[in-house]
Amino acid sequence: MSIGRASADVIVIGGGIHGCSTALHCALRGLSVILIEKDHAGRHASGVNAGGVRQLARHVAEIPLSNASMAIWHHIEELVDDDCGFTSDGQVMVAENEADLANCRARVDDLNLRGFHHEELIDAKELREIVPAVSDDCPGGVISRGDGAAIPLRATQAFKLKAQSVGVDVREGVRVTRVERDGTNWRVVTDAGDFLSPRIVNAAGAWGDRIAADLDEPVPLEAVAPMLSITAPLPAFIKPVVILRGRKLSFKQFGNGTVLIGGGYLGRAIRDENRTILDWAKLGSNMKTVWDLFPIMRGASIVRSWAGIEGKTADDLPVFGRSAKHEGVYYQFGFSLHGFQLGPGAGAVMAEIIATGRSNVPIDGLGIERFAPAH
């Protein structure tokens, strides 16, 4: 490991896309930054997810952050000198029956009343124009036309490399063991020595609850292992990403013909050993959904399945924003299987809050104070 400084204006703990994005945006605002990652950037959730870049089907509390992030994704190469494999062919939430479609209609109506217009209801005819291979039984759905997908590890590494190029001191293979107050600073104790800073960002993903507990701000967080599978190449048959509202599915075909299949089915995460165990029965359920929805896939071969380790909160919303107890502590973890798209924008918003004390992007409902006993 190279020898660098032991103090900075900001210390970011965690080298996923969120930590790397926040480090980069802080550096672009003129702050000195040390980023500490126990493995390598993108080793866990950020590097092994489905790569969905979606505003579609988000909780209302996340939509402003998602909107801010999407604006960055559409110009991502200008920020990190790499297009991150980003393509924008839309994302479609397929309704499998009329009850599903009624729920879709109610959601779109509600979002429109709130001033959000990125989700549009589509009927069976338009659904089949956009996704010709879908089952004839599906009566319609919802589309978010600006959505798409990117390559997760490539994107995370691009943020890391760009951050390094503007002066961020990235320490990979360094494990944080404790965080404690030291006068006006925070002392981050690691297996490679201590680091000091007046400001720390807890972007430690599935390990973020441990740092929060150190700071007497406990968060109910579950380490989970969302599973993904990929097929052998097939002839091109679909451009947008497809998700389901009822049964769990995320479905994307790459330019090389391979099809990525996910949807949030969980294996077992053993976070203290940095490993996961697949649940083959649940993967079978995932494949049954594909079989039902896309008859064209019935002859496809699955060549690999895997899982990453992610942190899931009790309410499926991230912990994002200032500490409720401590000056100079910020939280950015618990993205609950849908944080990849938020990374670029969340980093920009967090850096703005750190540098200026506020942000124009509303983050109401995401703060750590919602887990305090009084709540």
Per-residue pLDDT at 245:
74
Residues 6+ positions from 152 with CB-CB distance below 8 Å: 17, 42, 46, 47, 48, 49, 50, 51, 340
Angle between helices 343-356 and 17-28 (to 10 degrees): 40
Q: Where are the alpha helices (DSSP H) in 166-237?
A: 208-214
Helix-helix angle 343-356:63-73, to 10 degrees: 110
* 107 exposure class (CB count in 10 Å sphere: 0-12, 13-18, 19+): middle
Burial 171-187 (b: 16+ CB within 10 A, else e): beebebeebeeeeebbb
pLDDT of residue 5: 74
Q: The domain 89-146+222-313 belongs to what CATH superfamily?
A: D-Amino Acid Oxidase, subunit A, domain 2 (3.30.9.10)
Find out whether 182 and 196 touch, Cβ atoms under 8 Å: yes
CA–CA gap between residue 295 and residue 375 (Å, rounded): 48
Q: Which residues of the chain have pLDDT under 70?
A: 1-4, 374-375
Cα–Cα distance for residue pair 303/250, rounded to 1 Å: 17
101 phi/psi in degrees, rounded to 5: -65, -35
Task: Read off the pLDDT of residues 267-276 as tens digits, 9 standing for 90 and up.
Answer: 999 999 999 9
Q: How far apart are the first and last CA of the chain?
A: 44
Architecture of 10-68+152-219+318-371 per CATH?
3-Layer(bba) Sandwich (3.50)
Q: What is the pLDDT of residues 117-140, one digit of tens each?
A: 999 999 999 999 999 999 999 999
Strand partners, 202: 13, 331
Within 10 A of 306 (CB to CB), how many other CB atoms are there? 14
**Close Cβ partners of 103 (under 8 Å, ≥ 6 residues apart):** 95, 245
pTM for the structure as a whole: 0.96
Q: In what helix (H) or strand (E) does residue 171 lie, and over which residues does it extend?
A: strand 169-172
Write down the domain spans for the chain: 10-68+152-219+318-371, 89-146+222-313
Partnered with residue 142 across adjacent β-strands are: 93, 121
Measure the CA–CA gap between 344 and 152, rounded to whole angstroms: 12
Whether the Cβ atoms of residue 167 and residue 6 lie closer than 8 Å to each other: no
- Tell which phi-psi region holds residue 136, choosing left (phi > 0), alpha (psi between -120 and 50) or beta: alpha
